[in-house]
Amino acid sequence: MYYDIALTLVEGIGTILASNLTEHFGTAEAVFKADTHVIAEVPQVGNSKAEAIKAFADWDLVDTIIQHAAQHNIQILTKAHAQYPEKLLHCYDAPTVLYYQGNLNALNALKSVSIIGTRTPTEYGKWATEKLVATLKNHQATVFSGMAFGIDAAAHEQALQQQLPTIGVVAHGLHTIYPHQHKTLATKMLDAGGGLLTEFDIFTKPDKHNFPRRNRIVAAIADALVVVETAARGGSMITAELASNYGREVFAVPGRWNDKKSEGCLYLIQHNKA
């Protein structure tokens, strides 16, 4: 765990490269202890990245991250951890490290669905989300979403109403909640046996470039992805494409043909992408 976290902090080492390195050397610790020229020989690494790995010296930061996790009941899951989500484990760009607060049984439920959509839904979109989540009660499925305004929040809230575990996948460290208006919602989710999941450490803010990385986890972590309402372009459409590429079932809620908030869903259906 210690060296896995360190590997995520090395500049220029992303999830795919980190995976290649750990597979090549066996463990993250072995990566750091290898000679520079040996590291550089791993495909796609080269001298500059190998030197960056060997020059890494911010071990105090690694200690701080681990200490913070222990103090706040945050589980640190590496790919070697028995509770690392199996559906993510088989993805080529699976996170090197996951930080999880909550019920581990919900994270690895037998049945799970990710529900996503616009941040500004119509009343129809909210209704559709509520009806959809209600149908999952008999299946005891975990409901995943991204803690955003709109459809995300509606999915989390309805899961709570139906006494289903619900997990928020966030684009920042677990030292905060974004948007801050959802702090109470997050607390309710934890109290009800759900959780909060991220690949970002405690010093990571909810910056714009983190959200596409968050979306790939939402796309991959469940058995299926449901798009409730979305425009023809945007994060939900990209997430749907990612889910399809990961081999997940993709569903879209149909809407009125002249409603811009249903354009994306209708496109997915029309082109047999959902």
With respect to residue 86, please indicate whether it lies within any of the assigned structural domains.
no
Residue ranges of alpha helices (H) inside the chain are 2-9, 15-25, 28-33, 36-40, 46-55, 59-71, 86-89, 104-107, 123-135, 151-161, 183-191, 211-220, 235-245, 263-270
Based on the fold, state whether residues 134 and 211 are members of the same structural domain: yes
The burial of 40, by beta-carbon neighbours within 10 Å (0-12 exposed, 13-18 middle, 19 or more buried), is given as middle
Q: How far apart are CA 137 and CA 32, in angstroms?
A: 47
For the chain, percent of residues with pLDDT exceeding 90? 97
With respect to residue 152, please indicate whether it lies within any of the assigned structural domains.
yes
With respect to residue 193, please indicate whether it lies within any of the assigned structural domains.
yes
The average pLDDT across 31-49 equals: 96
Based on the fold, state whether residues 21 and 107 are members of the same structural domain: no
Q: Which residues, 6 or more positions from 21, have their beta carbon under 8 angstroms from its beta carbon?
A: 7, 13, 28, 31, 39, 42, 45
Pairing of strands 224-227, 142-145: unpaired
Q: How far apart are CA 205 and CA 175, in angstroms?
A: 9
Which domain CATH number covers 212?
3.40.50.450
Q: Which residues, 6 or more positions from 225, have their beta carbon under 8 angstroms from its beta carbon?
A: 113, 114, 115, 116, 218, 219, 239, 240, 243, 248, 249, 250, 251
With respect to residue 251, please indicate whether it lies within any of the assigned structural domains.
yes
pLDDT band at 257 (very low <50, low <70, confident <90, very high): confident
Based on the fold, state whether residues 108 and 218 are members of the same structural domain: yes
The average pLDDT across 263-272 equals: 96
87-105 pLDDT, tens digit per residue, is 999 999 999 999 999 999 9
pLDDT band at 120 (very low <50, low <70, confident <90, very high): very high
Based on the fold, state whether residues 148 and 220 are members of the same structural domain: yes
Based on the fold, state whether residues 162 and 242 are members of the same structural domain: yes
The burial of 9, by beta-carbon neighbours within 10 Å (0-12 exposed, 13-18 middle, 19 or more buried), is given as middle
Which domain CATH number covers 33?
1.10.150.20
Residue range(s) defining the domain that contains residue 45? 2-57
DSSP 38: H
200-212 pLDDT, tens digit per residue, is 999 999 999 999 9
Give pLDDT, residue 183.
Answer: 98
Tokens of 168: 């928020």
Q: How far apart are CA 247 and CA 236, in angstroms?
A: 17
147-161 pLDDT, tens digit per residue, is 999 999 999 999 999
DSSP 97: E
Q: How many domains does the chain have?
A: 2
pLDDT band at 258 (very low <50, low <70, confident <90, very high): confident
Largest CA distance in the chain: 61
Based on the fold, state whether residues 127 and 184 are members of the same structural domain: yes
Query: % helix / strand / coil in the chain, to the nearest 5?
Result: 50, 15, 40
DSSP 141: P
Q: Is the per-residue pLDDT at 63 higher than 90? A: yes
